[in-house]
Amino acid sequence: MSGFPTLQPAFTIQVTIDAPLGVGSASRQNSLQVVPMTGGTIKSEPGFSPAIDAEFVGVGNDYIHADADGKHLRLDAHAVAKPKDDADLIYLNYTGVVTMVPEVQAVFAGTAENGSTPFGNAFTHFTFETGSARYKDLETRVFVAQGRFNVEKGKPTVVEYRVSQVVQG
């Protein structure tokens, strides 16, 4: 349809997470949980420019509020990544919504079976900031993603995002 944007596959982001820290909230109806992001990677899809192959550095966090009815989570995540081939750093932030279907509830309860939840229950919007001339174009583009949870008993949970750039249709 004329005038509607399309999506160009950009990269896959995998975020290793730790157990949520239940902070609570004395002033809000929906309490805060902080999910530590203990590692992760960003890998470009073939043909996407600028090409990125980066690893998360430092400590990131996802600040999550559940809706009052418990049916959705509101994400606000912050992390820093370092490309493997240079010293530049890239700050990334994503916000989004996760629908609490039974498969996702099991992940947060620690009762999920090995495997991946289906895509389609977690959608996010990514923004980037960097001092690098090589990656500065990321700051002026619009990126959206859908995510899923990858669970393997005895290992940390990995959230996988398939990220696309919004482009002219």
pLDDT in tens, 59-85: 899 999 999 888 999 999 999 999 998
pLDDT in tens, 127-153: 999 999 999 999 999 999 999 999 999
Average pLDDT, the chain: 93
Query: Could you tell me the sign of the dihedral formed by the alpha carbons of 76, 123, 145, 107, in that order?
Result: positive
CATH code, domain carrying 144: 2.40.160.20
Question: Looking at the DSSP assignment, which residues form a beta bridge with residue 73?
Answer: 66, 98
Within the chain, residue ranges assigned H as helices are 102-109
Per-residue pLDDT at 28 exceeds 70: no
C-alpha 95/C-alpha 97 separation (Å) is 7
Average pLDDT over residues 104-113: 90
Within 5-65, residue ranges assigned H as helices are none
> Into how many domains does the chain fold?
1
Residue 19 lies in a domain: yes
Residue 28 lies in a domain: yes
Residue 141 lies in a domain: yes
Check: CB of residue 41 under 8 Å from CB of residue 47.
Answer: no
Residue 152 lies in a domain: yes
Q: Give the DSSP letter of residue 140.
A: G
Per-residue pLDDT at 110 exceeds 90: no
Instruction: Give whole-number Cα distances, 27 to 16, 71, 166, in Å.
Output: 30, 21, 37
Backbone angles phi, psi at 86, to 5 degrees: -160, 180
Residue 1 lies in a domain: no
Tokens 């939840």 map to which residue? 117
SS3 string, 81-110, reads EEECCCCCCEEEEEEEEEECCHHHHHHHHC
Residue 154 lies in a domain: yes
Of 74, 53, 71, the residue nearest 62 (C-alpha): 74
Residue numbers of the domain that contains 67: 6-167
Q: Give the DSSP letter of residue 118.
A: P
Query: Could you tell me the sign of the dihedral formed by the alpha carbons of 84, 88, 89, 95, in that order?
Result: negative
